[in-house]
Each structure stands twice: as structure tokens, then as C-alpha cells.
């Protein structure tokens, strides 16, 4: 392979690839052609005529399609979504009053080869400012793909940025209302892809047949993704409009769903093991959509074990345009399943237990002898399946729905103590995507770990000086002097203050010197060991510059009865009274959102600011909440001041591994409890392997003492 050829040579080769190998028609070089459009009416009309539609039906369908694509008062996202709906489900056409509405199918989804695939090059777009995409992909005359090519000395990012600017209103936004795939590539780096509106940092890379290096990766992956069958399948089954963001699948999501489809067809369950942060929720949504669309008798129940995850699942499906019924009790769930609708439901696993059942085995036998009647074929998605679903509550769930197919989703390694019950319940792995793979593919960030003994660090003047030097290692003398003015009283303050005061000062100092934190582009979570300590930390931060820019999020909701019996008669405030008064104070000016408590309103606002405005919400103080299923790209540091282990620890530290721009290179874990002290190697560099790099596919489990021994990077300042 000769890397370094000019862009024209690459473009000629790719045109030949589409024509000779993929079987696309070549429409020509359209640099001087007038009227280039995203809907080539002659081509589309010819396709529809060939498929038996009348002249009137075609005219109405074209009119409605063009209207959907060119609504000037709507955003590109809304127009693209409207067009996609017409492509996906057909254009409803009524030619005469009183006649039945027909559906004009613009694409033959069932028989991909019967569509007309074509490409044109140098397609001049004459909008407000002229632009010229290198190659445009058409299906039945509708532009569904745009490809920008660069020579190997120009990065793919240049092609991505060109595509992004082309979508701006001042350029040719109108053209992209029909476009489903945006590609950029060159001979040296390969191929990247996204949808309309996809930010540069979220453009994706495909991986398939990695052992085959016989040709350019650009060619290889265009052949994979743009083959007629694959392109039609991706458009039909793998496009998601999710709360204002259009999403396409990563390769591991695509292959997980393909593997799961085989299991579903065979009425078999299993486990989809995808590491934290790699998009399990998208897999759940797309798989549920596929099951419900391809099996008219199917019902899908999504079960999780935490209320906030249950709410999140409901929100994800609703944002994706899929109506889901959130049941409030096991009885309600079974009542819903005994009817034909709704077909998509979610519930908490705890709803399957029965508190009055002291003899659990007898309870299970009773359920098994009189199973509930369910309508349809039930497929149960069990989120975070490594936790309580392996125990008694899952036995109850299986007894209540004995004929259901169970598919487990997790991103946490199955410890050996879990493996037997997990494999018995779910039946082995459907698909796996490991942490090391996700880091390599730049789906998530790697993690850097640092144990900080706050007592040892700050117990003497010498240690404070050493701590200050270590903290300011990357600063010049002038910057150090300026910081010393601000921190000049630290020796006296920190040597006499409590341990919690020292932690507070340690965190605030990080926000002064750590790049992501000091730039206010990143923020942090502090994990406290109890609700009382979380409130104590919160009150301490209120006496610092963090006042108004930090929040406490716990399971506590203040009730007057919490403190009615707390009077000790000693004029001292008990822990319960302190927690109650702290929450009462922070909630006093909160205006309740309809349908929420004051506490829920406060927490939702805090989470929203944390995700969207990191400069205005620098720190969240938590105990258990938000340590699973909470995706916040700005979150860069996790400070742990709580004894944690196994699944809880693994999930918590992955709150920091989400991508968020080039200035976020790692997720940082600061451990005040030295949780990994027993996992340090002879060189002292230690081991923060969040997930085993060698997930045991056959045994289905790994020992806890092996889980953290591969990926630790030496703690970095």
C-alpha cells in the first residue's frame, strides 16, 4: 500500500470501490451541475414508478417529503427526524377524499438489493455559501451519506470539521436534512463516522475483521459499512433520536445486538457484558425496539434494582421516542402483563419480593405452583444483573414469569462468588466488551489512581511544605508565590484542623492547580461514608469559595418525625438533628417542581448544573446515589472517603471515564481510604485494574484479587 498519494488519487480509488465492488451506480462529477439536491426528484420518481406507484401517489409523496426536509422554522435535528420517519415508515398518501390512505415506501427495507444505490462526486451545494462534498451516497435518489476524503498528510479531523461547518445555517444546512451517515477518512488513519450534529469528539470508528490488513482501513471499513445490506440495516435498525441528539451505533453495540437477535430468535437468554460508559442503554433501547417490531407477540420488561436507575431507564426510552410504562408495584406489573398492552414496561426488582414471606422457599414454591398468567412472549432485560438479581429476589422474578427469556446487562465483572447463579439465571455470555478494549477504542478514558493519606501528608510543617511542592510541581515561581499568598496560613490551619477540614482544603487546592479543575471545564464527586458525613462535608464547603457551587445528593428526605424524639437534654445537636437541619436549610428557598418533592427538585437542578455548567457546580457530595448509571462527561475527579469494595467500587470509579474534549485525558481517582493498598506490586506502582483485561468468557467470573492488577497507571500529579 502506498500511503501519501494525493487526495485525488484516493478519491478515484474510492469511487471505483463503490462502483466496482459495492455495485453502486456512478452518477458523475456534479461540480458544474445545476440544482444539486438532497432529494433528486427524477431518480426517486423513477424508483417509485418501477415499484408500481401511480403518478399522483408519487407527486404527493415527493411533496410531503420535500416539505419535511425543508421546514425553515425547524431545526436541522427536527427536519432530519421528520425525514427519517418518512423513510422508515413510509409516506402516508391520500389522493382523494374518502379513499383509504396509502403508504408510499421510499426504501425497500426487506430487500436491500432492490433499492437503487448511487454515488456522485464533487457535488456543488449552492446555498448561502458554496460547498462541495467529495462524495455523496444516494439511495433511490435520496442523499443518505456524505463522505469527505483527505490525503494522508491531512488529519481525519479536518474532514470532520469540514462536515460540521457544512451543516451550519450559513453554509448548507438544508442539504443534511436527509443525510443519515457522515463519513470522513484518509489512507493513513482510516474512517470515522457520525450523524448530523455529532460533535467532533464523538465521531466513531468501526472495527471488524481486524486481522485483515490486506488493504487500506479506509477501503476496508467503507466496504463493511456501505455494503447494500449493511447500510440498509444500519439505517433501519440502528438509528436513534435521543432527546435532541441523533445517535448511530458503535461497532460493539452493533455486534452485541446482532448476537442478541440470534438468542432472541432461539428464545434463549444470556448476559451482555459491556464495560461502564460504553453505552449499554443504547443497546437496550435498540434491542427492545427490534424485538417489539419483529415479534408481534413480544413484551419487553426492563428490570433494575435502584429507583434512580428505574427513572433513568424510563427517561432514556421516552427520550428515544419509545413509550414505556413504569410500574409502581409487582402487583401492577403482573396486572399489566396479564393484558395485551402495554408492550414495553419497566419495574424495580424489589417489587418482586414479599416482605411477609418469612419462609422464602415456601413462598417460591407457592409462586411456582400458581404462576401468573401473562399475555404474549415476555423478554426480561435485567439491568446491572450482577447485583441482587443473582439472589432470592431473582428467584421470585423467575417464579412469577417462568416462561420469560432473561437477558442480563452489566458493565461490572462477575466475581466468582456470583458466577454460578448468574450463569444459571441467564445462560452464559451473549457479547462482551472489556474495559481495556473500550480504552483502546477511545470509547472511554483510562483511569489514574492516587492514594492520599491526608493525616500523614498534613501532620507537620515539613509535610505541608512537601505537599505544597508536589501540588505545584507544574507551576512557575510566580504562580507558586501567588498561591502561597492565598495559602499562607496553611501550616497553622491544617495542623490543627480535623481530618475532614484537611480533606476539604485538599480538594479546594486541587481546584486551584489541576488543569481540568482550575480551568472550570471539569468537576468532581466526593464520596462520603454516611449521610451525616456528607452533610458535614457540605457545611464545611459552604465556608469556602465553593459556597453555592457544591451540592449534597443522598437518599435522605427530611421529615419532621426524624427529630421529634432526638432531644438529648444536653443542649447538643444529635447526628439526626444535624442532618435534618442541614437539609432544611439548603431546601428552604427551593421552589418545588410539579410531581417532585423539594429534595428531588434540588437534586435534579444540582445534577443538571453538574453536567451542563461545571463552573457553577464544581462538586457533588454523595454516599450511594449517582455512583451507578450517572453519566456526566465533565466529571474528572472522584474523591473517595468511604470504605468500598467489589461492584460498588468498580462502578463508582467509572463515573470519571466519560469523554469530554481533548483537555480530559484521564479519569482521576483520589483515594483517602487506601482501598487498593493490598494490590500493589513489587515496583510500588500498584494496580487499578477496574476490569480484568482477560475476562474469562468460559468460566464467567474472575477472582476479586485479580480484578485490579493489569491497568493501574502510576499515580500522577
H or E stretch including 620? strand 619-622
Cβ distance 369 to 402 under 8 Å? no
Label residue 477 by pLDDT band (50, 70, 90): confident
H or E stretch including 274? strand 270-274
H or E stretch including 183? strand 181-186
* Segment among 181-195, 413-427, 621-635 with least mean pLDDT: 413-427
28-77 confidence digits (pLDDT tens): 999 999 999 999 999 999 999 999 999 999 999 999 999 999 999 999 99
pLDDT of residue 306: 65
Residues 351-379 as b/e (b if ≥16 CB within 10 A, e otherwise) read: bbbeeeeeeeeebbeebeeeebebebbbb
pLDDT of residue 490: 52
200-253 confidence digits (pLDDT tens): 988 999 999 988 889 999 999 999 999 999 999 999 999 999 888 999 999 999
Arithmetic mean of pLDDT over the chain: 83
**Residues ≥6 apart with Cβ < 8 Å to 576:** 562, 563, 566
Is 465 a residue whose pLDDT tops 80? no
**Residues ≥6 apart with Cβ < 8 Å to 30:** 36, 120, 121, 122, 123, 124
Grid cell, residue 671, equals 483515594
485-531 confidence digits (pLDDT tens): 665 555 444 544 688 988 998 899 899 889 899 999 999 999 999 99
655-675 confidence digits (pLDDT tens): 999 999 889 999 999 999 887
Residues 630-664 as b/e (b if ≥16 CB within 10 A, e otherwise) read: bebbbbbbbbbbbebeebbbbbbbbbbbbebeeeb
For 498-504, the CB contacts below 8 A with 24+ separation are 499/454, 499/455, 500/533, 500/536, 500/537, 500/540, 501/540, 502/454, 502/455, 502/458, 503/454, 503/537, 503/639, 503/641, 503/672, 504/537, 504/540, 504/541, 504/544
3-state SS, 303-361, equals EECCHHHHHHHHHHHHHCCCCCEECCCHHHHHHHHCCCCCCEEEEEHHHHCCCCCCCHH
157-195 confidence digits (pLDDT tens): 999 999 999 999 989 999 999 999 999 999 989 999 999
pLDDT of residue 458: 52
Please count the other Cβ atoms lying within 10 Å of the Cβ belonging to residue 151.
17
209 phi-psi bin (left φ>0, alpha ψ -120 to 50, beta other): left
pLDDT of residue 607: 95
Cβ distance 61 to 49 under 8 Å? no
| Greatest distance between any 2 Cα atoms in the chain | 91
DSSP classification of residue 479: H
- Rounded to an integer, the average pLDDT of 76-89 is 96
Closest C-alpha to 619, from 517, 717, 687: 517
Phi (first) and psi of residue 560, to 5 degrees:
-60, -35
Is 695 a residue whose pLDDT tops 70? no
Q: At what angle do helices 280-294 and 307-319 cross, to 10 degrees?
A: 60
**Residues ≥6 apart with Cβ < 8 Å to 623:** 527, 528, 529, 530, 531, 533, 534, 554, 555, 642
Look at the pTM and tell me if it is higher than 0.85. no
Work out the angle at residue 441's Cα, subtended by the Cα atoms of residues 259 and 178, and round it to the nearest 5 degrees: 70
pLDDT of residue 215: 92
Grid cell, residue 119, equals 454515488
* Segment among 105-119, 251-265, 291-305 with least mean pLDDT: 291-305
Is 357 a residue whose pLDDT tops 70? no
More confident residue, 411 or 633: 633
* Beta-strand runs (E) in 175-239: 181-186, 190-194
DSSP classification of residue 371: P
**Residues ≥6 apart with Cβ < 8 Å to 16:** none
pLDDT of residue 688: 43
Please count the other Cβ atoms lying within 10 Å of the Cβ belonging to residue 297.
10
- Rounded to an integer, the average pLDDT of 438-443 is 88
3-state helix, strand, coil in the chain (%, to 5): 40, 15, 40
52 phi-psi bin (left φ>0, alpha ψ -120 to 50, beta other): left
pLDDT of residue 90: 95
Sign of CA dihedral 75, 76, 79, 84: negative
Closest C-alpha to 502, from 540, 554, 539, 543: 540
* Cα distance between the two ends of the chain: 43
**Residues ≥6 apart with Cβ < 8 Å to 227:** 22
Using CA atoms, how far residue 686 sits from 279, 440, 575, 682, in Å, is: 29, 21, 37, 8
**Residue whose C-alpha cell is 452464559:** 428
Instruction: Count the residues in the chain.
Output: 717
Calpha distance 533→35 (Å, rounded): 67
Cβ distance 667 to 638 under 8 Å? yes
Task: Return the top range by mean pLDDT from 144-148, 323-327, 485-489.
Answer: 144-148
Is 547 a residue whose pLDDT tops 70? yes
Closest C-alpha to 407, from 515, 284, 491: 284
Calpha distance 5→11 (Å, rounded): 10
More confident residue, 259 or 201: 259
Label residue 435 by pLDDT band (50, 70, 90): confident
Calpha distance 593→606 (Å, rounded): 13
More confident residue, 491 or 121: 121
pLDDT of residue 681: 35
**Residue whose C-alpha cell is 431518480:** 43
Amino acid at each position: 500500500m502506498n500511503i501519501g498519494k494525493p487526495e485525488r488519487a484516493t478519491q478515484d480509488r474510492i469511487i471505483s470501490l463503490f462502483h466496482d465492488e459495492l455495485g453502486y451506480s456512478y452518477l458523475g462529477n456534479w461540480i458544474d451541475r445545476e440544482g444539486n439536491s438532497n432529494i433528486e426528484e427524477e431518480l426517486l420518481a423513477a424508483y417509485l414508478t418501477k415499484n408500481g406507484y401511480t403518478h399522483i401517489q408519487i407527486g404527493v409523496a415527493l411533496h410531503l417529503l420535500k416539505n419535511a426536509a425543508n421546514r425553515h422554522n425547524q431545526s436541522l435535528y427536527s427536519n432530519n427526524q421528520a425525514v427519517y420517519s418518512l423513510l422508515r415508515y413510509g409516506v402516508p398518501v391520500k389522493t382523494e377524499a374518502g379513499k383509504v390512505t396509502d403508504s408510499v415506501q421510499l426504501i425497500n427495507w426487506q430487500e436491500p438489493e432492490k433499492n437503487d444505490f448511487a454515488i456522485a462526486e464533487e457535488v456543488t451545494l449552492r446555498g448561502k455559501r458554496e460547498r462541495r462534498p467529495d462524495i455523496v451516497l444516494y439511495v433511490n435518489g435520496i442523499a443518505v451519506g456524505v463522505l469527505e476524503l483527505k490525503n494522508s498528510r491531512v488529519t481525519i479531523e479536518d474532514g470532520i470539521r469540514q462536515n460540521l461547518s457544512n451543516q451550519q445555517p450559513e453554509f448548507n444546512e438544508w442539504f443534511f436534512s436527509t443525510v443519515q451517515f457522515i463519513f470522513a477518512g484518509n489512507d493513513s488513519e482510516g474512517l470515522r463516522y457520525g450523524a448530523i450534529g455529532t460533535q467532533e469528539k464523538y465521531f466513531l470508528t468501526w472495527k471488524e475483521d481486524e486481522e485483515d490488513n490486506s488493504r487500506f482501513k479506509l477501503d476496508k471499513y467503507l466496504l463493511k459499512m456501505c455494503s447494500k445490506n449493511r447500510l440498509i440495516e444500519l439505517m433501519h435498525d440502528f438509528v436513534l433520536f435521543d432527546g435532541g441528539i441523533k445517535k448511530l451505533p458503535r461497532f460493539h453495540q452493533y455486534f452485541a445486538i446482532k448476537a442478541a437477535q440470534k438468542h432472541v430468535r432461539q428464545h434463549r437468554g444470556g448476559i451482555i457484558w459491556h464495560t461502564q460508559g460504553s453505552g449499554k442503554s443504547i443497546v437496550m433501547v435498540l434491542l427492545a425496539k427490534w424485538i417489539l417490531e419483529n415479534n408481534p407477540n413480544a413484551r419487553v420488561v426492563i428490570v433494575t434494582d435502584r429507583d434512580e436507575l428505574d427513572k433513568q431507564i424510563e427517561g432514556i426510552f421516552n427520550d428515544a421516542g419509545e413509550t414505556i410504562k413504569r410500574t409502581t408495584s409487582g402487583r401492577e406489573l403482573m396486572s399489566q402483563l396479564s393484558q395485551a398492552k402495554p408492550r414495553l414496561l419497566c419495574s424495580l426488582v424489589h417489587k418482586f419480593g414479599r416482605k411477609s414471606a418469612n419462609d422464602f422457599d415456601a413462598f417460591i414454591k407457592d409462586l411456582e405452583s400458581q404462576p401468573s398468567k401473562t399475555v404474549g412472549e415476555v423478554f426480561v432485560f435485567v439491568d446491572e444483573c450482577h447485583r441482587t438479581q443473582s439472589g432470592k429476589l431473582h428467584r421470585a422474578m423467575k417464579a412469577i414469569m417462568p416462561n420469560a427469556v432473561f437477558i442480563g446487562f452489566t458493565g461490572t465483572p462477575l466475581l466468582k462468588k456470583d458466577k454460578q447463579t448468574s450463569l444459571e439465571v441467564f445462560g452464559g455470555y451473549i457479547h462482551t466488551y472489556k474495559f481495556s478494549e473500550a480504552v483502546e477504542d477511545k470509547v472511554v478514558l483510562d483511569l489514574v489512581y492516587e492514594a492520599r493519606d491526608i493525616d500523614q501528608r498534613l501532620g507537620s510543617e515539613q509535610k505541608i511544605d512537601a505537599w505544597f511542592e508536589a501540588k505545584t510541581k507544574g507551576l512557575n515561581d510566580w504562580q507558586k508565590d501567588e498561591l502561597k499568598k492565598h495559602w499562607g496560613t496553611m501550616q497553622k490551619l491544617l495542623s490543627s484542623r480535623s481530618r475532614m477540614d484537611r480533606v476539604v482544603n485538599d480538594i479546594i487546592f486541587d481546584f486551584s492547580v489541576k488543569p481540568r479543575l482550575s480551568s472550570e471545564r471539569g468537576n468532581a464527586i466526593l464520596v462520603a461514608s454516611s449521610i451525616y458525613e456528607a452533610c458535614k462535608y457540605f457545611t464545611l464547603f459552604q465556608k469556602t469559595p465553593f459556597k453555592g457551587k457544591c451540592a449534597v445528593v443522598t437518599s435522605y428526605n427530611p421529615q419532621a418525625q426524624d427529630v421529634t424524639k432526638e432531644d438529648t437534654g444536653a443542649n447538643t445537636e444529635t447526628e439526626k438533628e444535624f442532618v435534618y437541619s442541614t437539609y432544611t436549610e439548603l431546601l428552604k428557598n427551593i421552589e418545588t417542581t410539579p410531581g417532585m418533592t423539594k429534595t428531588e427538585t434540588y437534586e435534579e437542578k444540582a445534577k443538571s448544573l453538574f453536567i451542563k455548567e461545571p463552573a457553577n457546580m464544581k462538586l457533588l457530595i454523595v454516599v450511594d446515589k449517582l455512583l451507578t448509571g450517572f453519566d456526566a462527561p465533565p466529571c474528572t475527579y472522584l474523591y473517595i472517603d468511604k470504605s468500598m469494595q467489589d461492584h460498588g467500587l468498580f462502578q463508582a470509579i467509572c463515573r470519571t471515564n466519560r469523554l469530554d474534549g481533548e483537555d480530559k485525558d484521564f479519569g482521576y481517582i483520589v483515594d483517602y481510604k487506601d482501598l487498593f493498598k493490598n494490590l500493589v506490586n513489587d515496583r510500588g506502582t500498584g494496580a487499578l485494574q477496574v476490569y480484568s483485561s482477560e475476562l474469562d468468557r468460559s468460566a464467567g467470573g474472575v477472582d476479586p484479587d485479580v480484578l485490579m492488577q493489569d491497568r493501574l497507571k502510576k499515580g500522577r500529579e
